[in-house]
Amino acid sequence: MSYRVNPQRGFGGFGTQGEGGPLARDLIVLLAVLFVTFSLQFFEPTRRLVGLFSLDLRVLHGFLWQLVTYPFVATASSGPWFLLELLILYWFGRTVFGRLGRRRFWRLVLLAAVGASVSAVAVEWLSLAMAPTWQHATFIAILGQRMIMTIVVSAFATLFGDATILVFFVLPVRARWFLWLEVIFVFVFYFLPYKDLAGMVGTCVAVFLVYSSLTPGGPKWVLRRWRRQLEERVLRARLDRMRRKRRFDVIDGHRDDEFVN
């Protein structure tokens, strides 16, 4: 998938903020690490070494460092699309990095990545305990560059929600809608065909953590606002239902000549 920000919105080429300096170094190092770990998986001796740092079921048996290291180990299942994923990651990442700065950027990446992995592992542990014979994939929706892309795109959608992104360079979409599009994408391409429930939950958690962390007031304020919105919608639905019922009520009336002044 290709993305381009509408230049009329002030984000032409994702490069209007934070050019050069630490921006280039941090993102280039990140892309280089992903490229190297991607390449090493095509050789038998190094594939096992790289696999120690990716997220798999061994995390349930003590490989706890995988909860932190997994987003920096690229997944080789993307095939030739991997280079396009790196390009998209750089497009979104340079603008997000320019707005947040180095410290906030990496803090956000680690927070969302660890939160996603912990929740995904918890879901996988529960699914194995409740349905040990259930055939499904494990964590494929959040491995490597997929999790980094989820975090960076969610951050862009939160910080620049009014920007217009041209999907495939043709279809204009408001940036804020990518918060939902990411979840829908994972649901369609990973949960439905592969039954990757853990990866689906991990993606949702990562999107929520990014959105709430970059929203004034933090997660508690976001949850309170969602609760108020839900309560308002429930109340509005009840009032509408009461109005519809009143339309069918029969009210006894009186003729005018029955009243005596």
Per-residue pLDDT tens digits of the chain, which is 261 residues long: 444 444 344 343 443 344 444 557 899 999 999 999 999 999 988 999 999 999 999 999 999 999 999 999 999 887 788 998 999 899 899 999 999 999 999 999 999 999 999 999 999 999 988 988 888 888 999 999 999 999 999 999 999 988 888 776 677 888 889 999 999 999 999 999 999 999 999 999 999 999 999 987 655 556 666 566 666 777 777 777 777 766 655 445 555 555 444
Q: For residues 173 and 189, what is the distance between their CA atoms, to the nearest angstrom?
A: 20
Q: For residues 116 and 120, what is the distance between their CA atoms, to the nearest angstrom?
A: 6
The domain spans of the chain are 3-214, 221-245
Residue spans of alpha helices (H) in the chain: 22-40, 44-51, 66-69, 81-130, 145-159, 178-186, 192-194, 197-213, 218-246
First-to-last CA distance in the chain? 80
Identify residue 77 by its one-letter amino acid code. Answer: S
- Stated pTM of the model: 0.78
What angle is formed at CA 111 by the lines to CA 106 and CA 112, rounded to 5 degrees? 100
Q: For residues 53 and 66, what is the distance between their CA atoms, to the nearest angstrom?
A: 5
- Comparing CA positions, the residue from 165, 159, 197 lying closest to residue 181 is 165
Looking at domain 3-214, its CATH architecture is Up-down Bundle (1.20)
Q: For residues 80 and 178, what is the distance between their CA atoms, to the nearest angstrom?
A: 24
